[in-house]
Chains A and B, each alone.
Chain A
């Protein structure tokens, strides 16, 4: 079952912060985050493996609450280059999972 992302779209000014949420109805093993710019392929951002795990890369970080089956992506002091559509991909807590289930995406627009 597809995870649900919220919000579906967000518009920010450069320098503002954003939070994108990803929620699943199934128990999760891990959550992946990807960013896709218009006309390009998705690019991997990070994987969260354990409950409570938080990761960061520059000003983009994420958390994973396995009890709530939720993950959040945090974009701090957003830059124009952060514009794009963000997808979470979930891996269910089953043995031998080989594929992701992508959320519907969150379109992020950063204006000067």
Chain B
């Protein structure tokens, strides 16, 4: 089945130790998103890629970076995780065709713990 896959599902890192989360998709969607979601809150968009074009949200800290080496894969790098970065990180994909934004498909998420 076509899907969005995230690895790892659970990640524990130490304060200040860089961490990379990965996302892959078999849907061939042209847009990939990274969201941060904390308990009882809505997903907060960090950035997205439209094809190779990177779009950063204005309030996303510089500590968060992303790479999309090809259509299928996207990575979230947290350069120096702080305690406040502990959260669920959701990857999602969608299509934008002829100006129309289609539904988003979410991966299962990576639960990040910072010790």
Query: Is chain B found bound to chain A in the same assembly?
Result: yes
- Asked if B68 is at the interface (CB within 8 A of a chain A CB), the reply is no
Q: Is A105 within 8 A of B106, CB to CB?
A: no
Q: Is B108 within 8 A of A41, CB to CB?
A: yes
Q: Is B48 within 8 A of A98, CB to CB?
A: yes
* Total contacting residues, chain B, CB less than 8 A: 22
Count of A-B contacts with CB under 8 A? 55
Given contacts A98-B50, A104-B42, contact A44 B104 (CB under 8 A): yes
Q: Which residue of A lies closest to B30 (CB)?
A: A98
* Total contacting residues, chain A, CB less than 8 A: 25
Q: Which residue of B lies closest to A94 (CB)?
A: B99
A82-106 interface (Cβ within 8 A of B): 87, 89, 91, 95-100, 102-105
- Asked if B90 is at the interface (CB within 8 A of a chain A CB), the reply is yes
**Distance of A54 Cα from B20 Cα, bound (Å):** 42
Which of B31, B41, B50, B104 gathers the greatest number of chain A CB atoms within 10 Å?
B104
Q: Is B101 within 8 A of A97, CB to CB?
A: yes
Interface string of A50-86 (1 = CB under 8 A from B): 0000000000000000000000000000000000000
Q: Is B42 within 8 A of A98, CB to CB?
A: no
**Distance of A103 Cα from B96 Cα, bound (Å):** 21
B109 shortest CB reach to chain A, Å: 5
B33 shortest CB reach to chain A, Å: 7
Chain B interface residues toward A at CB < 8 A: 31, 33, 40-43, 45, 48, 50, 55, 90, 96, 99, 101-109
